[in-house]
């Protein structure tokens, strides 16, 4: 009778991160959603640049907002990716294998969030830079001409990418909370995208000022080089978005620890 000798294998945070990165990159849906987001952002940005008429209806729009208009579409792809990272494991049953391998459970969620954040932000930021440069070639000589080094431009481009990444993190948390892909996408559309619009209809000033710190509005404020009326400043907007993401992930972590898998 031989019992296997003590092995060098053991769980570490870095290894869980490595595992989640391997899971992330080995699914086709990851690349489909990331590349779709990039294609939508770039395609829309170039179209905006090519069709811009100086002095037309778009003249008063912030140049970064104009060029990155496609991120409104791209953000949906990133949201779906965020949901797939967590809820996708529940819908397939993979979560049981993941939790047997890492019975501490919560490190799996942190690792997923970290991998998603790094991948989504990198991809979004690279796409946004490329889109800005491509669109600006077409906008040369117009009143929307701007350079990367002009005040506020680079910050707004990074802010746009950070905002969408954080919205995606909220979706990732929702996916872990609701454990259903369609349910989580529905909840995100209803709770994060539509609800603030409905609340905005209410005739209360307090609601109006609070709305500036809701996820989509805060993300919008982050992605603009020139502050627009009624919006939060970049710092508080970023803080608000981080808090929203923290609440979503925190609730997911608590339930992940408590619920049967």
By beta-carbon proximity to another protein, the closer residue of 62 and 89 is 89
When binding is defined by CB under 8 A, the residue of 34, 85, 102, 171 that contacts another protein is 102
Stretch near another protein under the rule CB under 8 A, chosen from 35-43, 59-67, 93-101, 162-170: 93-101
Q: For residues 88 and 29, is the Cβ–Cβ distance under 8 A?
A: yes
Shortest CB 257 distance to another protein, Å: 10
Q: For residues 74 and 130, is the Cβ–Cβ distance under 8 A?
A: no
Shortest CB 74 distance to another protein, Å: 22
When binding is defined by CB under 8 A, the residue of 72, 73, 99, 239 that contacts another protein is 99
* 56 binds another protein, rule: CB under 8 A: no
* 235 binds another protein, rule: CB under 8 A: no
- Interface with another protein (CB under 8 A), residue total 39
* 1 binds another protein, rule: CB under 8 A: yes
Q: For residues 16 and 108, is the Cβ–Cβ distance under 8 A?
A: yes
- CA 87 – CA 246 distance, rounded (Å): 18
Which residues ranging from 18 to 37 are in contact with another protein (CB under 8 A)? Answer: 18-20, 22-23, 26-29
- CA 39 – CA 33 distance, rounded (Å): 10
Can you tell me whether residue 178 is helix, strand or coil? helix
By beta-carbon proximity to another protein, the closer residue of 34 and 135 is 34
Shortest CB 95 distance to another protein, Å: 8
Residue 15's CB: how many other CB atoms inside 10 A?
A: 14
By beta-carbon proximity to another protein, the closer residue of 19 and 127 is 19
By beta-carbon proximity to another protein, the closer residue of 22 and 137 is 22
By beta-carbon proximity to another protein, the closer residue of 27 and 199 is 27
Nearest to 170, CA basis, from 101, 178, 96, 133: 178
Q: For residues 245 and 166, is the Cβ–Cβ distance under 8 A?
A: yes
Shortest CB 38 distance to another protein, Å: 21
By beta-carbon proximity to another protein, the closer residue of 245 and 253 is 253
By beta-carbon proximity to another protein, the closer residue of 13 and 133 is 13
**Tokens describing residue 189:** 């559309």
Nearest to 67, CA basis, from 46, 51, 53, 37: 46
- CA 134 – CA 124 distance, rounded (Å): 15
- CA 260 – CA 99 distance, rounded (Å): 11
Which residues ranging from 158 to 217 are in contact with another protein (CB under 8 A)? Answer: none
Handedness of CA 76, 194, 48, 124 (dihedral sign): negative
When binding is defined by CB under 8 A, the residue of 92, 122, 209, 226 that contacts another protein is 92
The angle at the Cα of 229, spanning 227 to 234, to the nearest 5 degrees, equals: 35
Binding interface with another protein (CB under 8 A): 1-4, 7-12, 15-16, 18-20, 22-23, 26-29, 88-89, 92-104, 258, 260-261
């Amino acid at each position: 009778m031989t019992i296997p000798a003590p092995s060098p294998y053991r769980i570490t945070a870095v290894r869980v991160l490595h595992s989640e990165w391997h899971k992330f990159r080995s699914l086709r849906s990851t690349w489909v959603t990331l590349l779709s987001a990039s294609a939508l952002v770039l395609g829309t940005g170039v179209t905006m640049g090519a069709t811009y008429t100086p002095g037309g209806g778009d003249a008063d729009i912030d140049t970064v907002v104009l060029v990155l208009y496609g991120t409104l579409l791209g953000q949906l792809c990133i949201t779906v990716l965020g949901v797939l990272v967590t809820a996708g494991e529940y819908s397939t049953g993979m979560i049981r294998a993941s939790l047997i391998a890492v019975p501490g459970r919560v490190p799996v969620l942190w690792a997923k969030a970290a991998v998603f954040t790094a991948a989504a932000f990198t991809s979004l930021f690279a796409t946004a830079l490329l889109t800005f440069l491509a669109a600006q070639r077409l906008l040369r000589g117009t009143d929307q001409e701007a350079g990367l080094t002009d005040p506020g431009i680079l910050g707004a481009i990074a802010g746009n990418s950070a905002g969408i990444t954080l919205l995606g993190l909220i979706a990732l948390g929702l996916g872990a909370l609701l454990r259903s892909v369609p349910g989580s996408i529905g909840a995100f559309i209803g709770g994060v995208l539509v609800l603030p619009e409905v609340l905005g209809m209410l005739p209360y000033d307090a609601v109006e000022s609070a709305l500036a710190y809701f996820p989509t509005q805060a993300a919008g404020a982050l992605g603009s080089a020139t502050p627009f009326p009624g919006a939060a400043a970049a710092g508080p907007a970023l803080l608000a978005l981080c808090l929203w993401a923290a609440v979503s992930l925190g609730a997911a972590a608590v339930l992940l620890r408590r619920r049967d898998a």
